[in-house]
């Protein structure tokens, strides 16, 4: 079948084997969209988990109307991106591929330069050449850096990143803005706040802690537990991306040139927080995890880590007024779903 002929149904999702990407792909396939997934299955964390997510896509989307195509390559690879343009001429692009992780960016900065800057630049060119009508990309709550004003609002200054990861995400926002302005590509940057849930990321606290708790090993509790995160359940994130996918960013006709902020623009470029507006304390989070895993944690209290932020808290008014976003899964339900999945998926490791 010549998929180019049906190009209005072709959506490219990069980072498709990732935590957020794989959940999004399942949702889009169920809507009947044709999804072209790209992922390099790198070994930043266990590639078997990425492969298992790809299997999960096939299983969960079995019988759905949408067509699923997967390509294993890096977004730094322009030649391969050109082949995707030739084959599918997509009109919607969702860029989730990135080198994630705040702490790792201190040890391996090159990975962030390559994926998040060179790769992201290639994706912008890909959007330009395909005359893309809606571009969505992952930013992060980490752009708020050392901000002390809470909750974090999109109009707050994000000019003081405290890690290269955060700097790369802020760079993505301004890079996307320039393309949106120059080539009129409607673009939406979503600042995700600590996403958790089934099929999560092994480098993030829920999985690191669950693993150590079940092995009866000590967990590192940074800043002596005085930390807060605005945890956001995976389904809420996916719902927000899906809604933005079918509502391209618009120009702000009332853009204030004398008091500009990055969240809206004279170009069709918008930025939104996607969080829960409900910061959970680190110790409260550990309590809930212990309860759901049925094992007490051994806590090792440590000072704050470089690059880390003490508290995140999302103001979600803006995304609520744009797509009526409201988090639907509360923390107690979300942690229970995460713990159930974790125990099942890793059951053989703990016998
Ligand atoms: N999970 C969170 O809490 C969170 C919070 C804020 C922002 N984000 C952002 O959301 C996006 C998705 O995050 P996630 O949690 O699903 O992470 P993830 O690491 O599970 O998914 C990213 C996927 O992209 C792939 N990838 C990385 N670099 C690539 C490259 N150069 N070319 C092709 N594929 C590449 C990886 O193999 C991985 O499967 C990322 O951009 C991340 O920075 C995530």
Considering its fold, how many domains does the chain have in total? 1
**pLDDT, position 248:** 98
**143 and 170 in contact (C-beta within 8 Å)?**
yes
Per-residue pLDDT at 5: 42
Confidence at residue 306, expressed as pLDDT on a 0 to 100 scale: 84
Rounded to the nearest angstrom, the distance between the alpha carbon of 50 and the centre of ligand 1 is: 11
Q: What is the pLDDT of residue 3?
A: 44
Give domain status of residue 49, yes or no.
yes
19 lines ligand 1 (CB under 6 A): yes
How far does the chain reach from its first CA to its final CA, in angstroms?
48
Per-residue pLDDT, 1:
40
Low-confidence spans in the chain with pLDDT less than 70: 1-8
**Ligand 1 proximity of 20 Cβ (cutoff 6 Å):** yes
What confidence score (pLDDT) does residue 270 get?
Answer: 98
Q: Does residue 70 belong to any structural domain of this protein?
A: yes
Residues 6+ positions from 341 with CB-CB distance below 8 Å: 197, 198, 199
| Residue 117: inside a domain | yes
Tell me the three state secondary structure of residue 282.
helix
Whether 150 maps to a domain, the answer reads yes
Say how many Å lie between the CA of residue 18 and the centre of ligand 1: 6
Q: Looking at the domain assignment, is residue 294 inside a domain? A: no
CA atoms within 13 A on the CB side of 223: 16
What is the Cα–Cα distance from 113 to 98, expressed in whole angstroms? 10
- The pLDDT value recorded for residue 262 is 84
Is the beta carbon of 277 within 6 A of some atom in ligand 1? no
Per-residue confidence (pLDDT) for residue 8, from 0 to 100? 58
Residue 213 belongs to some domain of the structure = no
Q: Does 98 contact ligand 1 (Cβ within 6 A)?
A: yes
In sign, the C-alpha dihedral spanning 144, 150, 155, 159 is: negative
Phi (first) and psi of residue 168, to 5 degrees: -70, -35
Burial class, 106, CB count within 10 angstroms (exposed 0-12 / middle 13-18 / buried 19+): middle
**Helix pair angle (205-214, 282-293), 10° resolution:** 50
**Whether 165 is catalytic:** yes
CATH of the domain at 162: 3.40.50.720
Calpha distance 166→159 (Å, rounded): 10
306 in a structural domain: no
Q: What is the reported pLDDT for 316?
A: 98
Q: Which of 248, 289, 14 is nearest to 24 (CA)?
A: 14
DSSP lists the bridge partners of residue 188 as 136, 270
Residue 285 lies in a domain: no
Q: Which domain holds residue 150?
A: 3-199+231-276+313-329
């Amino acid at each position: 079948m010549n998929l180019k002929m049906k190009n209005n149904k072709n959506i490219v999702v990069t980072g498709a084997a990732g935590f957020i990407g794989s959940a999004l792909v399942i949702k889009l396939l169920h809507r009947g969209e044709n999804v072209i997934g790209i992922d390099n299955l790198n070994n930043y964390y266990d590639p078997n988990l990425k492969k298992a997510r790809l299997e999960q896509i096939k299983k969960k989307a079995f019988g759905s109307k949408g067509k699923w195509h997967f390509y294993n390559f890096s977004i730094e690879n322009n030649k391969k991106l050109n082949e995707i343009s030739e084959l599918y001429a997509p009109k919607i692009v969702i860029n989730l591929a990135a080198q994630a992780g705040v702490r790792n960016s201190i040890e391996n900065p090159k990975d962030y330069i390559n994926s998040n800057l060179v790769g992201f630049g290639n994706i912008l060119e890909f959007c330009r050449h395909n005359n893309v009508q809606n571009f969505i990309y992952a930013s992060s709550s980490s752009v708020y850096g050392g901000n002390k004003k809470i909750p974090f609002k999109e109009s707050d200054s994000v000019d003081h990143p405290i890690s290269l990861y955060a700097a790369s995400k802020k760079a993505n926002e301004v890079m996307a803005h320039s393309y949106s302005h120059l080539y009129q590509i409607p673009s939406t940057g979503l600042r995700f706040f600590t996403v958790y849930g089934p099929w999560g990321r092994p480098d993030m606290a829920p999985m690191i802690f669950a693993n150590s708790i079940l092995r009866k090993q000590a967990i590192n509790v940074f800043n002596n537990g005085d930390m807060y995160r605005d945890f956001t359940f995976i389904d809420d994130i996916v719902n927000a991306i899906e809604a933005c996918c079918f509502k391209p960013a618009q120009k702000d006709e009332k853009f204030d040139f004398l008091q500009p902020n990055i969240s809206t623009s004279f170009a069709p470029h918008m930025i939104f927080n996607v969080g829960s507006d409900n910061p959970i304390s680190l110790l409260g989070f550990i309590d809930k995890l212990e309860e759901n895993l049925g094992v007490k944690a051994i806590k090792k209290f440590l000072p704050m880590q470089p690059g880390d932020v003490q508290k995140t808290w999302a103001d979600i008014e803006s995304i609520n007024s744009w797509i009526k976003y409201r988090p639907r899964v509360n923390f107690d339900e979300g942690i229970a779903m995460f713990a159930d999945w974790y125990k099942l998926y890793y059951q053989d490791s703990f016998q």
